Amino acid sequence: MHVRHFLSIHDLPQGAFWRLLDLSRHVKAAPVAYAYALKGRALAMIFEKPSLRTRVTFEIGIQQLGGFAVYLGPQEIGLGKREAVIDVARNLSRWVHGIMARTFEHNTVVELARYATAPVINGLTDQLHPCQAMADYLTMLEHKGRLMGLRIAYVGDGNNVAHSLMFGAAQSGARLVVATPHGYEPDRRIVQMAREDARTSGAIIEVTDDPRAAVTGADVVYTDTWVSMGRESEAAVRREAFAAYQVNARLMSYARPDAIFMHCLPCHRGDEVTDEVIESSQSVVYDQAENRLHVQKAIMIDLMHQPGADCA
């Protein structure tokens, strides 16, 4: 039996990226119309690391769709330690209609999807953060009215968020410039994959070590924490390496006057971004956070909706 999953924006079939954004906008505009879309459907939420936005938006989201969620922390499962991933996948598939996993290693969600007969949604891994990127592109579309040709500057660590933004740019036809210090560039394999995807849309994916060059003329300026969860021991070294990559008023001045500032949160004010920027009228970080709810509802509907079931 073929089961569809949502592990990476790169994996989306042609047109699915835009269909999900369109569905997200409909869900956001008319939530009552989808109040029974997942009536009686259950979502297992696996967390290897804590979260505010991911847990709340998935748990509230499926409730607003008529379903319910079961939270499973590290103490309940112990993926690959207390119980093999293959057994977790097969057990959960007998009980629930969808599995959302927020894990450290990307291979964990890949393995879950390999053995699960219920759809698996990637809530975050060390390699990708596709739900966040979908919410980001919805936010850009709302504020800028377009994605095709939009110039996006990502300044900071070449991490999971940067990777998923690249795949989203490739799908949407945007121009994404990623500026990172030497040694912190995005994964070369993912850069190449995104550039190959971009051939269809006409998107441009660039990588540089010059934050000013990346931001100059940008419609969107985006950053993320310099010290991701699990890398706390590298904090001092990373703060030194990224010091010139702080998004502050001076760096923002090189962007277009109507540029928006984005951050996936949580942020470390005074490190990757200053209070002056994140509290400015250009900041849309809470719009991004809100849109996690609407995008993830759309993803769950797309994967878990039972054919023939009423949406209202």
Alpha-carbon distance of 139 to 131, in angstroms, equals 12
Selecting among 64, 127, 132, 246, the annotated active-site residue is 132
Selecting among 97, 175, 292, 294, the annotated active-site residue is 292
Residue 75 appears among annotated catalytic residues: no
Alpha-carbon distance of 23 to 20, in angstroms, equals 5
- Tell me if 202 sits within 8 A of 173, measured CB to CB: yes
Classify 182 in phi/psi space as left (phi over 0), alpha (psi -120 to 50) or beta. beta
Selecting among 97, 129, 175, 294, the annotated active-site residue is 129
Residue 271 appears among annotated catalytic residues: no
Residue 64 appears among annotated catalytic residues: no
Q: How many residues does the chain have?
A: 312
Residue 267 appears among annotated catalytic residues: no
Which DSSP letter does residue 110 get?
Answer: H
Selecting among 224, 238, 271, 294, the annotated active-site residue is 224
Residue 132 appears among annotated catalytic residues: yes
The owner of tokens 């259950």 is 42
User: Which pair of structure tokens corresponds to residue 244?
Assistant: 């010139």
Residues 6+ apart with CB under 8 A from 116: 3, 5, 89, 90, 92, 93, 99
Selecting among 102, 106, 151, 238, the annotated active-site residue is 102
Selecting among 106, 238, 264, 296, the annotated active-site residue is 264
b/e code 100-112 from CB counts within 10 Å (16+ = b) = bbbbeebebbbbb
Which DSSP letter does residue 209 get?
Answer: S
Residue 129 appears among annotated catalytic residues: yes
CA angle 121, 80, 301 (to 5 degrees): 10
Could you give phi then psi for residue 232, rounded to 5 degrees? -60, -30
Hey, which residues are catalytic here?
Answer: 102, 129, 132, 224, 264, 292
